[in-house]
C-alpha cells in the first residue's frame, strides 16, 4: 500500500453485509483483519461445496468454538424457494430452525429477493412477501429479538423478475410486512433495496422508525451533496455494508478484499467529507451499538 492510502486505513469498519462460507473462514478472517473489518454481519447459509442444514450448524459451532460470536454476527438465510414447494412444511421447519440457531448465537435472518421475483407455488402463482402463511416466521423473529436483513427487487437497470411483478408492487408488499411488524428491526439491503433516489429513501425512513439500511451502489443513489444530506440526517440508521460477496474464481484474498473492495469504499466515505460523528456512526458505531 502506498503512503497516501494509509490515511484511509486508520478507522475500524463494521460491515453489515458480508457473505463468507465455512470453507473460507480462515481466509475471510485474515482478509477482514487486513482490511480493518473488526466486526460485521454474515448473511450466509450454503457452503460452496453444497450441503445445507448440517453445514450451517457445523459452521456456527465452529465459529463459536473459535470465539467469533462478537466478531461476526450470524444471520440465518433460509432456502426461501422451499416455501413455494411446501409452504406449511417450510414454515414449520424454519421456525424450529430459527430457535435452534438462535441458541447457537444467530441474531437475525436474511430475506432474499427470490421472494417476489423468482419463487412460485406448485400451481404457478408467484410467492410474495406478504403471504399470510409466513406470519409465524415473522412472529418467531420477533420473539427471538432478531433483526431481518431484507432484500427486495433489483436495480432498475437490470430488473427482470420471472414473476413479472413491478418494483413498486414488490416494494408495496415489502412495506406491508414492515408495517405489520413495527417491533422487528429491518435492515434494508443495498441502499433501501436499490431505491435510487435520496428523497424516496428519506421518505421510507421517515415512515418506518423500525427501518435501517446498509449502503451500496451509492453512484445510483445520488450526487455527493445528496449523499451527504442523507447520511447526516439519518446517521443513526445507516450501516456500512457494500456486499462484497466472494470472488467467483478464487478464495477471498488480499487483492479482492483490500484493493478491489474495502480500500475504494474507505476512500469514498472519507472523501465525502461527513462530520466526524456521522462518519463514526456509519462506519462503526451503529453496528457496534446494536450487535456487540
DSSP class per residue in 212-262: EEEE--HHHH--HHHHHHHHHHTGGGEEE-------SSS---HIIIIIIII
Stretch that binds Zn ion, among 5-13, 20-28, 80-88, 240-248 (CB under 5 A): 240-248
Residues whose CB is less than 8 angstroms from the CB of residue 194 and which lie 6 or more positions away in sequence, other chains included: 153, 154, 155, 156, 217, 220
Stretch that binds Zn ion, among 76-84, 95-103, 106-114, 243-251 (CB under 5 A): 243-251
Stretch that binds Zn ion, among 97-105, 128-136, 155-163, 241-249 (CB under 5 A): 241-249
In the complex with Zn ion, which residue's Cβ is closer, 15 or 243?
243
Torsion angle of the four alpha carbons 136, 137, 139, 142, in this order, in degrees rounded to the nearest 10: 170
Nearest to 74 by CA among 44, 47, 53, 119: 44
Q: Least CB distance from residue 215 to Zn ion, whole Å?
A: 12
Does residue 243 interact with Zn ion by CB under 5 A?
A: yes
Number of residues that bind Zn ion (CB under 5 A): 1
Count of residues making up the chain: 292
In the complex with Zn ion, which residue's Cβ is closer, 83 or 112?
112
Largest CA distance in the chain: 61
In the complex with Zn ion, which residue's Cβ is closer, 136 or 247?
247
Q: Which residue is nearest to Zn ion (CB)?
A: 243
Q: Least CB distance from residue 243 to Zn ion, whole Å?
A: 4
Does residue 214 interact with Zn ion by CB under 5 A?
A: no
Q: Least CB distance from residue 195 to Zn ion, whole Å?
A: 16
Query: Which residues are near Zn ion by CB under 5 A?
Result: 243
Amino acid at each position: 500500500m502506498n503512503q497516501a492510502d494509509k490515511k484511509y486505513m486508520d478507522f475500524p469498519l463494521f460491515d453489515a453485509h458480508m457473505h463468507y462460507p465455512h470453507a473460507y473462514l480462515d481466509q475471510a478472517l485474515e482478509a477482514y483483519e487486513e482490511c480493518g473489518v473488526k466486526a460485521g454481519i454474515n448473511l450466509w447459509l450454503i457452503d460452496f461445496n453444497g450441503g445445507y442444514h448440517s453445514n450451517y450448524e457445523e459452521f456456527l459451532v465452529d465459529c463459536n468454538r473459535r470465539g467469533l460470536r462478537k466478531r461476526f454476527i450470524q444471520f440465518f438465510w433460509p432456502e426461501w424457494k422451499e416455501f413455494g414447494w411446501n409452504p406449511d412444511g417450510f414454515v414449520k421447519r424454519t421456525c424450529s430452525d430459527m430457535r435452534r440457531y438462535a441458541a447457537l448465537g444467530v441474531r437475525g435472518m436474511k430475506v432474499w429477493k427470490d421472494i417476489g421475483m423468482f419463487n412460485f407455488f406448485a400451481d404457478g402463482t408467484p410467492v410474495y412477501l406478504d403471504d399470510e402463511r409466513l406470519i409465524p416466521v415473522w412472529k418467531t423473529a420477533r420473539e427471538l429479538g432478531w433483526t431481518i436483513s431484507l432484500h427486495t427487487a433489483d436495480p432498475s437497470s437490470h430488473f427482470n423478475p420471472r414473476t413479472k411483478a413491478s418494483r413498486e408492487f414488490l416494494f408495496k408488499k415489502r412495506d406491508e410486512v414492515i408495517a405489520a411488524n413495527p417491533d422487528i428491526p429491518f435492515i434494508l439491503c443495498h441502499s433501501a433495496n436499490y431505491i435510487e433516489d435520496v428523497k424516496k429513501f428519506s421518505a421510507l425512513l421517515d415512515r418506518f422508525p423500525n427501518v435501517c439500511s446498509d449502503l451500496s451502489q451509492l453512484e445510483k443513489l445520488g450526487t455527493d451533496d445528496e449523499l451527504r444530506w442523507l447520511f447526516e440526517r439519518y446517521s443513526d440508521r445507516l450501516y456500512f455494508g457494500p456486499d462484497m460477496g466472494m470472488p467467483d474464481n478464487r478464495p477471498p484474498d488480499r487483492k479482492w478484499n483490500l484493493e478491489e473492495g474495502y480500500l475504494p469504499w474507505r476512500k469514498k466515505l472519507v472523501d465525502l467529507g461527513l462530520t466526524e460523528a456521522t462518519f463514526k456512526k456509519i462506519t462503526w458505531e451503529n453496528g457496534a451499538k446494536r450487535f456487540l
